Structure 1
Amino acid sequence: MDDTKVKIRQAVEKLTLLVTDEQINQWVNYLVLLRKWNKTYNMTSITDWNEMLVKHLFDSLSVARFIKGQQVIDVGSGGGLPGVPLAILMSEKHFVLIDSVGKKIRFLNHVKKALSLQNITPINIRIESYQPKTLFDTIISRAFSSVGDFYHLCHHLQQDDGQLIAMKGADLELTALENLNQYFETFEVNVPLLEAKRHVIRITKQHR
């Protein structure tokens, strides 16, 4: 695990994030839980430890600079990505983790208890049925196959000055957004130790 912690420290340094030993330990413990539960619940297709570090943890942390406001929702959170790593990083913000698959929410409730993460709320519901009392400053997802579907299913959760953040690979699928009455912009994201291209699409109701 010492080698793991060295890699995490090097990654957060590249991402210019300030973290504590406790946060590093929580990220390691989270990945241990994810790999353990995966044997029974099929949480992720990525099971190699070093790949989990890069494609789960570092990929999630690479979008930290885009998270704005206090109320954040991770849509289609699955095993808690990117929501759990970001919630560990940003203890002052509240993260709602939504997924329609019950076993994944059971896992996230276990993570909440095991890691004492008071700032996450896992909810088992389809996103189109979710009607929260408080709207969100940031709506994020990396699980949606289509950025157009992400917008259409989730924009009812958006504060007037809120944003939708879609985590994408090389294919940005921007044609689905060109007719929307919202402003969108794209950013290339560098994930430590990952050669593949990553992008963020940010959708807002007005120019920033």
Structure 2
Amino acid sequence: MIPSDDPALRAELDAGLHTLGLAPMLAGPLLVYLDLLARWNRTYNLTAIRDPREMVTRHLLDSLAMVPHVAGVPTLADLGTGPGLPGIPLAVALPGLQVTLVESNGKKARFLREAVRTLRLANAEVAESRIEAVERPGAFAAITARALATLSDILAAGGHLPAPGGRLLAMKGLRPDDEIAALPPGWGLVAVHPLRVPGLDAERHLVVVERT
């Protein structure tokens, strides 16, 4: 059974969207994305999570939990996006957000291009590149990364991409106080937002860092 044919999975996604205060109409394109991810994952091993219900919680809803903190941001680079997380769910939920999906792995980049085409995401593009090789300095209002590296490592690779006053929105599990204390010169902490992910019994935080 493909994910979109599973009524229990659809109900779980619907409930999660409701809890996050997001429109129920998002379930349709999100399930198309999940179908595509599950199908490609059987051949290309794009994510270690293979159970579609776990994908709903740990991929879709986890990514969408940061929507309130991205709403109003015009341009976002999703660094080391893998199969498009959080970038593709954010692009689906926020049509006014222009998302650049940065991924150096060729198989994952091919999947990303297929996902953008299938979902007709006019507000998403794929940059098949290492993060530090993306030659668009100052081009983004914000950059994000999900379970990629330490805050310092993310900024070392992608710190050239945010515009003046631009921000890093880093998705983390436990509050990373040691990483915050080790922020490189020129960057300062703005906020740490606890995130509640429906169905996930684990701590999640969004760390907001700004160029000082």
**TM-score when normalising by structure 2:** 0.90
SS of residue paired to 2:160: helix
Deviation at 1:134, TM superposition (A): 5.9
Partner of 1:161: 165
Provide the residue aligned with 2:84 in structure 1: 80
| Letter paired with 1:11 | G
Q: Identity over the aligned pairs, expressed in percent?
A: 33
Amino acid at match of 1:5: R
Which of 61, 64, 68 does residue 67 from structure 2 map onto? 64
Which sections of structure 2, spanning at least 5 residues, go unmatched?
1-5
Counterpart residue type for residue 181 of structure 1: G
Q: Distance in 1 between matches of 2:96 and 2:39?
A: 28
Task: List gaps (5 residues or longer) in structure 1.
Answer: none
Matched with 1:196 is 202
Using the alignment, how far apart are the partners of 2:15 and 2:96 within structure 1?
24
The alpha carbon displacement at 1:66 in A equals: 1.4
Partner of 2:3: none
Task: Provide Cα deviations, 1:48-70, integer angstroms capped at 9, x if missing partner.
Answer: 11110000000000011111421
| Aligned twin of 1:14 | 19
CA contact (8 A) 2:137 2:160 kept: no
Shift of 1:133: 6.6
Write the distance in 2 (CA, Å) between the matches of 1:46 and 1:140: 21
Of residues 45, 51, 56 in structure 2, which corresponds to 1:53?
Answer: 56
d(CA) in 2 for partners of 1:176 and 1:154? 17
Partner of 1:29: 32
- Provide the residue aligned with 2:9 in structure 1: 4
What SS is found at the alignment partner of 2:110?
helix
Provide the C-alpha distance between the structure 2 equivalents of 1:20 and 1:50, rounded to a whole number of angstroms.
18
Q: How many residues align?
A: 203
Contact kept, 8 Å, 1:41 with 1:103, in 2: the verdict is yes
Q: After the TM superposition, which residues 143-162 of structure 1 pair with which residues of structure 2 at under 5 Å, given as runs?
A: 143-162=147-166
Amino acid paired to 1:116:
R
Mapped to 2, the partners of 1:205 and 1:128 lie a distance apart of: 17
Aligned pairs (5 A) from 1:99-114: 99-114=103-118
RMSD of Structure 2 on Structure 1 (CA): 1.5
Paired with 2:172 and 2:13, the residues of 1 have a C-alpha distance of 22
Q: Which runs of 4+ in 1 moved over 4 A?
A: none
Contact kept? 1:127, 1:154, Cα under 8 Å: yes
CA distance in 2, matches of 1:88, 1:4: 19
